[in-house]
Every structure is written in structure tokens, then in C-alpha cells.
Structure 1
Amino acid sequence: MSRLHPGFLAVVLTAALALSGVTTSSAQQPAARYSAVAVDMLSPGAGAGTFPVNIVINRWSTQEEEDRLVAILLEQGPDALLTAMQKWPPVGSVAPTGGVGFDIRFAVLTHRDNGLDEVMALTDRPMSFLERRAAGRSTDYPFTLIQMQTKPSGDGEGQISIAARLRIDKVNRTLVIDNFTDQPIMLRGLKREQ
């Protein structure tokens, strides 16, 4: 089993955000905007893997889009979902504060009975030319998954699985997420800004 250098995940996210050329600005008013400090728990040294990040959701995915995502994953598998998702228009973006980022292709908001709001956002993961050329194990994890939970005050917590593989447990009808690294990037001080 190959291991990543501890700071690799933070470097990959920073590079992907910097090179993708997608900005978080939008002519329309976003449906939701979140800010946090992204913390890569595997980075060596104090503060080495931390940076402020903004997550903007311009619109929430519809029930029809959610049903389509589940159907593709159930019936055709994750490779077909990746191919389909790459053609979907973006619903938002994730970017370091003041920088450029990458598109989010799917995002749902669920209001829980306990007053918490849960956000699940999914996208195809930007991969560099060098990563694709090396064709290492990381290319088997083509999705980025963002999970956030906020209180009515707007404060919350979350995580970003930068390199994830998805599958459906057909017996329990649940989404199973396999992370490439030991831990996802944690979103500390998460705040819903609107």
C-alpha cells in the first residue's frame, strides 16, 4: 500500500485551486456562502496545512438531479457517474480566500429535525497532467466530496474529502465513501455567511 507524503493533500488542493482558473464571483446572488479554515491534519509542522477557504453554492441541485445521480451510481457505477458529472453545469465553487478554485457540480441541503442544516456537495476532482501521467493509485479516487453541518446560528463544522471513491451499498442503500488519504481535510470555524 503506497502512502502519500503528509503534506501532499494540502499541496494538491492548493495547486488544484490555483490552476483551475475558476473564480467564485457570480453575477447572481448565491444560495449560500460558507467560509472556514481548511486544516490538513496530516501536514507536518504547525500551520503547514491550513488555509482559509470559501464555498459558494449558487443554486441547490434539484430532486430530479439527485435522483439522476443516485440512478447512475446504482445502475452504471462510479465511472459512468464521473463521465456524466463532467458534463453537468456547475452549481457552485470552492476556492481559497482571495484565490481561484474549482466548480462544484452537485449540492444538496437537508434541514434536520434537530435544527441542523446538512450540506453535501460533490464534484469531479481536478487532476494535474502529472498525476494523470503517473497513473498512480490516486487517479482511482476521482471525486471531491464536501460535507458540512451548520447550526441555526450559522456556525458549524465540515470536511472535504479531496480524493474520494464512491459506491453504493445496495443492501443498505447507502453511499459508501472511500478516501484516498487517512483523514479528510477538516473545515474549522465553518460559518454560513448568508
Structure 2
Amino acid sequence: MPQQRSPLAEPGTGGDAEVIARSRHDPEAFAVLFTRHAPALKRYVVRRLGLEAAEDIVAETFTAAFRQRGTYDLTRADARPWLYGIATNLIGRHRRSEITLYRALSRTGADPVVEPFTDRVEGRVAAGEVRGRLAAALAALPAGHRDALLLVAWGEFSYEDAARSLGVAVGTVRSRVFRAREKLRRALGDADPTATSEEYGHG
């Protein structure tokens, strides 16, 4: 039996909550969570802090999650809000680096961070200008507003999941995202490159 693994310990089988439950008495099963979520989480952190810090943040996130797995709410099938919440707290320790990155991008316009969103406003202004202005606008946002906005826009979270990640009310997330987007629209001439396709038409 030591050679055999539970199907929950294999990628693609069982929800996140099931994998976490399994990992409480079979620690190796927790690796499934890493396989499922680390790549997307790394892309998210790279956009916020750059490549250099991303690997450390992701490693720290999963180390902390592993240690806290005994307290995970198993009624939550999707562990992403929990994992991104941990990552957001860790990103908070690098707040100065994040602002420095955005300010550098606002000057150069060369941008791996905001590149995915510039095509949504093409035709309004040159892509390089959009990148620079978006980076500058992100740098100017209050930290809590930026966290909420980027979980929704870059993490592709619902408001409910973003609220769970940040440990705040859904209404707080809605308010922060609304205010953040108002500031971005002003900076970008009414364009909103952080809006998801699902949100177009919903105000």
C-alpha cells in the first residue's frame, strides 16, 4: 500500500477541498494544489511585482498554505481565494517594490505587466502610452483598492471570491473596484483596460 496513491493525490481528480482534506493525513497530496494553481498564481504575482520576486512569493504562499491546511474551510471547493489571499498578504510586504515597478513602467512603456490589457483600448491612444499611463495610475491607487481591482481584473475573481481573499465584505470590494476604475478611466480618457468581458454592459 505505501506504493499506491489515492486518486485524490493525482492532478485533475477531486476538488481542492477534497485534496486539502486528503493532505491532512497524506501530506504529499498537497502537491496537487501546487500543480493546479501555482502557474496562474505566478503569472499574477509577476504582473504585480515582476519576475524576480514572483517565485519566492509563490513558494512562500504554498508553504504558508500547507502549514494552515488544517484550518481550511472544507465547504469551500475552490482554494484559489484562500491561496490568493495569502499571496496578497505577502505582496503587501513588497508594496514599495510594486510601486517602483509601476513607476518604472510608466516611464519606459515597456511592459510585461499591463500588456494583456492594452489591446482593449487600441484606437484610443497608442499602446505604449496606454501602458505607461495605466502603470502610473496603478501606482497611484491606495493599496486596498489596487488589491481588489487586480484580483478581479488579473486574478479573474468574482467580487465574492475577491472579498473572501481579502477578508472584507463584498460591498467593500465593489466599492474599491468602482473607485479604482474611476481613477483609471480618468487617467486613460474614459477607457478601462481592466474590465473583463463579463463586466462589459454591467456598468
Q: TM-score category by the smaller chain?
A: under 0.3
1 or 2, which has the higher helix percentage?
A: 2
Larger relative contact order, structure 1 or 2 (CA cutoff 8 Å, min sep 6): 1
1 or 2, which has the higher strand percentage?
A: 1
TM-score, normalised via structure 2 length: 0.24
TM-score, normalised via structure 1 length: 0.25
